[in-house]
Amino acid sequence: MAAQGSLTKRGDRTPWPLTTDIIRRASGYGQGSWLSSMGWSKRGINRRQRLLWGSEMHRCLYKLLLTGLMILLSASCALLRERTVETVPPVPLPEVRRVTFSGNTQFSSRTLLAEMVSKPRPRLQFWKHGEPYNPPTLQQDLLRLRKYYFDHGFLEATAQVERVEENAEENTVAIAIAIEEGAPTQVEAVHLTGPIPAELSPVPKLIAALPLQAGQRLNKTDFDASKELLLTRLHNATYARAEIIPNTVVDQETHRATVTFELRPGLPTTFGPITIEGEQLVKERAIRRQVRIREGEPYLAEELKESVDAVYGLGMFQAVTPRVLNPQEQGAPMDVEITVRERRPRSIQLGLGFSTVEQFRGEAQWTHRNLFGGAEHLNFSAKASSIQQSGEGRFVLPYFLARRTSFTQTVFARNLPRIDEDKLGLGDTFFGIQDTTPRYSEFSLGTESRVRREFTRRLSGSGGLELSRHLFSDVDQDLIGTGVADDNTLFIQFAELKWDTSNNLLNPTRGTVLRGEVDHSTSALISTVSFFKLLLEARHYYPLGEKLVLASRFSVGGIQPYRGSETVPSNVRFFAGGPGSIRGYAPNRVGPLDSEDRPIGGDSLLVGSVEVRFPISGDLGGVVFVDAGNVYSASPGYDLSDLRVGAGPGIRYNTPVGPFRLDFGVALNPRSGDPFGRLDFSIGQAF
């Protein structure tokens, strides 16, 4: 063993170099040293020393050898410290220049590319670069592609790298991916098992309401939505701790699946104590007034969501988060904690913009939230554009006499100057405004008191009084005495009723909105003129498929003067045309015109629109629309043979404040002198 120059650990056949063992010995072999941790003992080392070295001479020789090795190692370390190490700069990873797919028939290459991390440079964003090519990342992308196919019913789909072409000069790669989709799995049947509470619909109706239906392709989106729908139905039937246990059986030969949802409703539940956390400036009482749930009432998930929305609707908080404190206590009341995070009490907002209706515009707002500690609002705003300047002060009481009832007091001033020429020089483009305003100037000053009541989550109503004074100046001679531009005072009593089942305020994709508004003015109560004004509107949003929406709108209105009033002033009349009405025509120019072809409004309104909204890429979408309607002088004076029709395409880009809208409408039957079309852009859907 000594002649071989190595030591063997007991019970191990791994040789340890003798010289290395000697160097390690110099640091000692006591308890806690790394050698003891390897199974060696001090006694074992001493025995080996006597066998190997046996004499004092041998000890001296080995000490000299050890000293020489230590000196050699020290010198080597010093040389290494003095030596300059030249580092080679790392070669950057190649850029992914192109990714192509083959074999994909069910999903477009753009759809598949969106699931990957290894993306090339965006086509419309030339200033960006493609992602770096990394083989491990590409392998993960293949798994993502398989998962995407799996989630959409292609359970046997595969994705493989067909080839990777490298361009050493440009340091880029082109990736080709081969897809084998396989046969899709169809849903053969959907079953519900377990106890079905009496509060729920019968089983056939429940199954018919599920997004996942027999005969369709099995997909994760509908599967998850069906499970969530059943769970929501149970939660809204007081079964707060209900569970849904899904089970899917797939026949790989026939590619058919049987899906079973087992319902485990548990016991009916009531609301327990409801606590509010996080409030500092806003009084807890003001928050509790908005909470729609009460301790001891049956648990309804919908009521809890409405409470959270109502608290957030106060405008006092950055976030409102509900939390269930005892979700596992079956049969016990459900304790709920609502945590709020307050906003700053005061804020200033400034804004600049440009639109095809107002050209350049600016806005400034000052808001004081929580004026007296009860979530009251005080807001002052000023707006100015090429066609209008206005100022407004608004005070809001979120709680007025009863729950779900609010009060708003508004004072306003508005100036509409006469515009005979486009001072910005845009009259020869799509953005001209000189023919969209009447031949007079109008200044209005007034106040409005409004009470709003939420009867249910979908049904709301409001009513109140408005007192205003309207002064006209710079009026053309042929309009004087016609009642169109006469100074007037209005004391209007108004009421509004609204039914809203839409799923989004800024960009709805499903649901219905019905709204009716009536205004009344009489010369017996301060007003200069007497009239009834009625406006009815219906909107419907219907999903045709994944991210494909059919939106429609219909509006009808009428004004009826009475008590000796033969006409109403223009500040009461209907106007139509423009981006929010009939696209393809200039704002206000659909309807009666004066002798100089300037709009004067009418007493009857009829407008309808249909548009299809579809996705293009990411947040970018498109629409195709048809608008039709008109404004008529008399009331009732509807004439379906005299409708102005506009149609065309548009694009939408989703932003945090709503979709940016760009529409090009073509006037299909314009009047003599009207342009053939108009380009309009603004924020928010047309309806």
pLDDT in tens, 358-402: 888 899 999 999 999 999 999 999 999 888 999 999 999 999 999
The stretches of 192-290 forming alpha helices (DSSP H) are 203-209, 220-235, 284-288
Q: Are residues 337 and 351 in the same domain?
A: no
Give CA separation, 480 vs 46, 158, 289, 596, in Å. 125, 79, 53, 14
CATH number for the domain spanning 334: value is: 3.10.20.310
Nearest to 133 by CA among 155, 118, 151, 150: 118
Intra-chain end-to-end CA distance of the chain, in Å? 94
Quick one: pLDDT at residue 169?
87
In a domain, 440, yes or no: yes
Q: Are residues 57 and 150 in the same domain?
A: no
Quick one: pLDDT at residue 434?
64
Indicate the residue among 159, 180, 201 that finishes a domain. Answer: 180
Q: Are residues 55 and 132 in the same domain?
A: no
Kindly state the tokens that stand for 100: 């192509």
Q: Are residues 499 and 561 in the same domain?
A: yes
- Using CB atoms within 10 Å of the CB of residue 413, give its burial: 0 to 12 exposed, 13 to 18 middle, 19+ buried: middle
270 and 240 Cβ atoms separated by less than 8 Å = no
Dist CA 136 CA 278 (whole Å)? 46
Dist CA 575 CA 607 (whole Å)? 11
Dist CA 529 CA 183 (whole Å)? 73
Kindly state the tokens that stand for 212: 């996942």
Kindly state the tokens that stand for 413: 């001033």
Nearest to 304 by CA among 261, 347, 273, 338: 338
Quick one: pLDDT at residue 204?
93
Q: Are residues 202 and 149 in the same domain?
A: no
In a domain, 90, yes or no: no
Q: Are residues 456 and 310 in the same domain?
A: no
CA 549 from centroid of its chain's CA atoms: 16
In a domain, 70, yes or no: yes
Nearest to 599 by CA among 576, 565, 566, 567: 576
CB atoms within 10 A of CB 317: 21
| Gyration radius (Cα) of the chain, Å | 39
Dist CA 192 CA 483 (whole Å)? 68
Nearest to 20 by CA among 92, 74, 73: 73
In a domain, 125, yes or no: yes
CA angle 128, 131, 132 (to 5 degrees): 130
Q: Are residues 12 and 42 in the same domain?
A: yes
CA 311 from centroid of its chain's CA atoms: 20
Q: Are residues 432 and 498 in the same domain?
A: yes
Q: Are residues 387 and 486 in the same domain?
A: yes
Quick one: pLDDT at residue 431?
64
Dist CA 551 CA 510 (whole Å)? 9
Number of domains the chain is built from: 5
Report DSSP state, residue 83.
S
Q: Are residues 625 and 660 in the same domain?
A: yes
Q: Are residues 468 and 580 in the same domain?
A: yes
Cβ within 8 Å of residue 229, ≥6 positions away: 209, 210, 211
In a domain, 84, yes or no: no
The stretches of 301-436 forming alpha helices (DSSP H) are 301-312
Residue 68 φ/ψ, nearest 5 degrees: -60, -40
Q: Are residues 593 and 606 in the same domain?
A: yes
CA 505 from centroid of its chain's CA atoms: 11
CA angle 83, 86, 89 (to 5 degrees): 160
Which residues in the chain show pLDDT less than 50?
1-55, 57, 79-80, 84-85
Report DSSP state, residue 477.
G
340 and 334 Cβ atoms separated by less than 8 Å = no
In a domain, 86, yes or no: no
Quick one: pLDDT at residue 63?
58
In a domain, 1, yes or no: no
Indicate the residue among 232, 264, 296 that finishes a domain. Answer: 264
In a domain, 68, yes or no: yes
Domain that holds residue 145: 95-180
Indicate the residue among 296, 326, 342 that finishes a domain. Answer: 342
